[in-house]
A and B are shown apart, each in its own frame.
Chain A
Amino acid sequence: MIRDFFRVMEVNLTTGKTNIIELPGRGEYLGGAGLAARLFEKFGFIDRDWDDPEQPVIFAIGPLTGYFPLMSKTCCAFRSPYHNQYTESYAGGKSALSLRFANLDALVVTGKAKRLTALCVGSRRVETRDVEYMRGFDAIHTGRVLRKIFPGSGRRSILRIGPAGENLSAYACINVDTFRHFGRLGGGTAMGIKNLKAICILGDRGFDLPEGKAYPKLYKHIFEQLTTTEMMAKYHGLGTAVNINPLNELKSLPWKNLQQTSSPNAGGISGETFADDTLLRNAACAGCPVGCIHVGFVREQFQTNNQYLYRQVGYDYEPIFSCGGMLEVTDAPQVLRILDVIEKEGLDCMSTGVALAWATEALEKGVISEKETEVKLTWGDAETYMQAVERLGRPTNDFYKLLAQGTLKCAEHYGGADFACVLGQEMAGYATGEVFFVSEGLGFRHSHLDSGGYAYDQKHEDKDVTKALDFLVNDERERIVLNCMVGCLFSRGVYKDDLLAEALESVGYGVHNESVADIGHRVQKLRWRLRLRMGYRPDQAKIPKRYSEITTWKGPLDTEYMEALRTGYAARILEMGAPLEEDD
């Protein structure tokens, strides 16, 4: 074990001061999601909005980060500019191991810099640089310049925002090491409001390993399971893009702003098509041998006489669903070109695609006009969508300014809320049915990763409300344990509670008197308490009308079942997040 407490660095951008804080609670919160929530309790303000300069942006890792394969993610927590409540987002790249080797369990950034700033932290370093000259730089260009400013190739992680974060779009992302992102709910904006363009984390330290045979033996066992069995084949083979075809066959693929749940043209953007026609290579997060990152390429002729350029663009299922199917762009390279612009602007690709899908339908129906959209948004027209993405990143009028705050906010102003595909935030790519819609609509992060509601829909034809709700609550709890570690959710088939307990034991973190499941339960309640104290009302969460109009493999959507799930899940959330006695 490195230490049985948390070592946290707090950098205040207003004062320029840095504190190193030693915080107890490893046995109660493990790390990651638990530590982040604990840190928000300590540094955050329930009674101040997301844009208060003192609200923290928190990056936390887990007790097994670097010790075991796939323990390779970082939890980023902040008060979301999207809904003004506590939230989290997860990313990999080299961020987690960089924090580990910078000798930090968490980095907390508070305050607001006077001018655009880059922060560099390491085991023996903390430094801010004025980078006002980078204002308006896209995320890729920013990365290039930062690599020169803060040398350390191979042992550093670079987190940065694009124009969308600077311009305070509610769904700006934080780009991590070019191909990964803290994507959802506006982490990039939380940095933007602090005038924080980038963070470089230098992983420049090492730690003694435990003596004895238990640790190396367990490492080898887990490494072999992850690399020699077929368990991870889906993730490094076609990648999550493999989902396009099966979801299309199941009539569960959101298409054309969810006007359809399947399309005969889905093959053009299937995982197989991407792999055959555009896949350049795979990449991995540091500390993960799976290599799930799929990098596609696009070749473009920019002048006559065979003058070409090429771009490398990461893809996955969610980006393809949101910028392919939802916009009816059915040509893989065209999807990559849209994603490339989104990447540069520093937007969440799912929210962007879904927002533009709504705008296209709204334009089609006459809810808005070309006066608002400035370009004629047309299903399948990648060129026009690329122009619209730039307008979202750097709003040119009130319409784009509002659309960059969220589809539903825009629809509330212009109309068209019925067909806004928003489940708490712009939806994830699973039109699987009632359980998923309620799960994402009400869930903690409004994410398909809160729990496997989409998988439940695909496996269960029965409509047992209690059984479905038990699943959502228990699956969330299991995922929270892994998010406290902070392990990649792709490894959830390997890292069950028992193995996690064994892994903790092998490096000296024997869990004190409690099972990891109990800790998961504690963190689950803590997170919900935070959300509810910031005004979240799950009982008032709405599922837009479009979701009751669809047909899946099970037939037309059952609105009664969905409503029973909605009210039942809201009650469970209110129960989990009930105030502690000492809060009264």
Chain B
Amino acid sequence: MKVLRAARMERCIGCHSCSLACARQVHKFLSWNKAGIRISSAGGLSTGFEARVCLACSPAPCAEACPTGSLIQRRDGGVIQKKKLCIRCGKCAEACPVDAIFLDHLVNPYVCIHCGQCVPFCPHDCLELVDLPKREQTEGGSDD
């Protein structure tokens, strides 16, 4: 199973092409918020850039916090999003340990679904889709 990794952020120039690509192609929006990946500085531009992006937790605290099943645990980490089930309670964003879920002003959550559509838009190859190692059966979780 593939997950998105912001593996080489020290190369990032802060162009936001990745988050704009996600907003445009995945969410059909013009925005740098309504996206599964967001770029911020670590405290001013002289400190370089960070990617706010889902780290593919397993189990994912956001899925555990979601009361309606709108965010469902992916097999090896991260979540699948079913927007229609979302009641916009915002619990998922509260639960995320790395601030990777963005809530817009209508409390719609935006989270990376590891589709990789942002990757070709990064001019410096900061991002990559990688295979997660298969988890041991004993760790639990469902393959369904």
Binding site for B on A (CB under 8 A): 2, 66-67, 69, 97, 100-101, 123-124, 143-144, 147, 153-155, 177-179, 203-209, 216, 219, 223, 227, 281-291, 293, 295, 312
Taken together as a complex, chains A and B put the C-alpha atoms of A322 and B104 apart, in Å, by 45
Q: Are B45 and A209 in contact (CB under 8 A)?
A: no
Taken together as a complex, chains A and B put the C-alpha atoms of A285 and B20 apart, in Å, by 13
B33 interfacial contact with A, CB 8 Å: yes
Residues of B within 8 A of A288 (CB): 15
Q: Are B15 and A155 in contact (CB under 8 A)?
A: no
Q: Which of B28, B30, B40 contacts A67 (CB 8 A)?
A: B30
- 22 of the cross-chain contacts (CB-CB < 8 Å) are A67-B30, A69-B17, A144-B44, A147-B44, A154-B39, A155-B32, A155-B40, A177-B45, A178-B44, A203-B32, A206-B30, A207-B29, A208-B30, A223-B121, A283-B45, A285-B15, A286-B15, A286-B16, A287-B15, A287-B17, A289-B15, A293-B13
Closest to A177 in B: B45
Q: Are A207 and B31 in contact (CB under 8 A)?
A: yes
- B6 to chain A: closest CB distance in Å? 13
B114 interfacial contact with A, CB 8 Å: no
Q: Are A284 and B30 in contact (CB under 8 A)?
A: no
Residues of B within 8 A of A208 (CB): 28-30
Q: Are B32 and A97 in contact (CB under 8 A)?
A: yes
Closest to B30 in A: A207
Interface of A is mostly: loop
Q: Which of B29, B38, B43 contacts A155 (CB 8 A)?
A: B38
Taken together as a complex, chains A and B put the C-alpha atoms of A153 and B14 apart, in Å, by 12
Q: Which of B91-144 contact A (CB under 8 A)?
A: 104-105, 121, 123-124
Taken together as a complex, chains A and B put the C-alpha atoms of A207 and B32 apart, in Å, by 10
Given contacts A155-B38, A206-B29, 17 further A-B contacts (CB under 8 A): A154-B39, A178-B44, A179-B45, A203-B33, A204-B105, A205-B105, A206-B30, A206-B31, A207-B30, A208-B28, A281-B48, A283-B14, A284-B14, A286-B32, A289-B15, A289-B123, A312-B46
- A581 to chain B: closest CB distance in Å? 41
Q: Which of A143, A179, A206, A295 contacts B23 (CB 8 A)?
A: A206
Taken together as a complex, chains A and B put the C-alpha atoms of A178 and B66 apart, in Å, by 40
Taken together as a complex, chains A and B put the C-alpha atoms of A204 and B34 apart, in Å, by 10
Q: Are A284 and B31 in contact (CB under 8 A)?
A: no
Evaluate whether A153 and B15 lie within 8 angstroms (CB atoms) in the complex, with A67-B30, A207-B31, A216-B25 already known.
no
